[in-house]
Amino acid sequence: MTEPQQQWTETIESSHSLFDLKLKEVWRYKDLVYMFVKRDFVSGFKQTILGPIWFFINPIFTTLVYLIVFGNIANLSTDGAPKVLFYLAGVTLWNYFSSCLTGTSNVFTGNASIFGKVYFPRLVMPLTVVISNLMRFGVQMGLFLVAFFYYYFKGEVQPNIWILATPFLIILMAAFALGMGMIFSSLTTKYRDIQMLLGFGVSLFMYVTPVIYPLSALPERFKAIAYYNPLSGIFECFKYAWLGVGDFSAAMLLTSSVIIFILLAIGTVVFNKVEKSFMDTV
C-alpha cells in the first residue's frame, strides 16, 4: 500500500508578483505583531527609574520650550488659542509621526539578524512600529485632553464637530509615516547615507509643517507650498476641531488624504520588492 503524498502547509518563495502583498498572511501573524509590540513597550523602559512617566516628560518639556522660545521670545501667532494648548497639540501629533517615521525607516537594517534566521511577513515589522508608537500617542493624548478640558471649562477654546474626525487624522498620520518609512527603509539597504539624511531631515520637516505656528500666519506665497504638505491638512484640522482655530478646509484634508494613500501604496510596493533581496546588501 503506497503512502499518501505529503502536502505542504507552507511554501516560501522568493519569486512572487510585485503586487502580491500577502496581506492575508500578515493577518495570520497578528499574534507575532502583538508579541513585538509588547517587546518594544517592555524593552523601551526596562531598567529605567521613571518608566512610562517618560511619555509625559517629553511633551511637557517640549511644550515649555516652545512656549518660551516661539510663544514669548519670537511671539508667533497661535490664532488666539491658548499657547500651552496650541503647542501641546502640535507636539502630541508630531511626536507620533516622527517616531513612526524614524522607526519604520530602520526596519531592514535594524532587524537584519531576525530576518536572516526566521520567516514571517516582513510587513509585520513596520506595522509593529506604528502600533507600538500608537500606545505612546494614547498616553500623550491623555495629557492633551487634561489640558484641553482645563481651557474648555474656562471658555477659552471652542471645539466643533470635526473632533469626530480625530481617529481618521491618526490613521492618516500613521499611513503617511508608514509609507514614507518603508520607502526610506528600502533605500537604506543600499544607501546608508539616507539614514543620516533622514535624521536631520525629520527635524527640518517640522518647520515646514504647522506644528509651532498656524497656517494662517504664513505669507500667501508660502501657503500654496504648505497646502501640498500632507501633514498640513492633518494638523490644521486637528487644531480647528479641538481649539476652534486655524486656516482649515475640507479640500485641504482631502488633498492630504489622496497624497498620503498614494505614498502608502508606493511605499508598500517598494518594500515588497526590496524584501526579496535585501539580505544581499544589508
Domain membership of residue 115 (yes or no) is yes
What angle, rounded to 10 degrees, do the helices at 30-44 and 124-153 form?
Answer: 60
Query: Are 164 and 257 a contacting pair, CB within 8 Å?
Result: no
The parent domain of residue 125 ranges over 23-40+52-280
Measure Cα distances from 112 to 74, 201, 282 in Å.
Answer: 45, 24, 7
Query: Are 105 and 179 a contacting pair, CB within 8 Å?
Result: no
Domain membership of residue 95 (yes or no) is yes
Specify the pLDDT at position 148.
96
Specify the pLDDT at position 121.
75
Domain membership of residue 125 (yes or no) is yes
Domain membership of residue 120 (yes or no) is yes
Residues in the chain: 282
Q: Exposure of 113 by Cβ count < 10 A (0-12 exposed, 13-18 middle, 19+ buried)?
A: exposed
Domain membership of residue 16 (yes or no) is no
Burial of 5-23, coded b for 16+ CB within 10 Å and e otherwise, reads eeeeeeeeeeeeeeeebee
Cα–Cα dist 105/179, whole Å: 10
Domain membership of residue 256 (yes or no) is yes
Specify the pLDDT at position 277.
61
Domain membership of residue 11 (yes or no) is no
Grouping H, G, I as helix, E, B as strand and the rest as coil, residue 92 is helix
Going by C-alpha positions, the residue among 133, 134, 111 that lies closest to residue 122 is: 111
How many domains is the chain built from? 1
Query: Are 85 and 107 a contacting pair, CB within 8 Å?
Result: no
Of all residues in the chain, the percent with pLDDT exceeding 90 is 39
Specify the pLDDT at position 49.
60
Domain membership of residue 128 (yes or no) is yes
Give the residue ranges of the chain where pLDDT is below 70: 1-23, 44-52, 111-112, 115-116, 120, 276-282
For the whole model, what pTM was predicted? 0.86
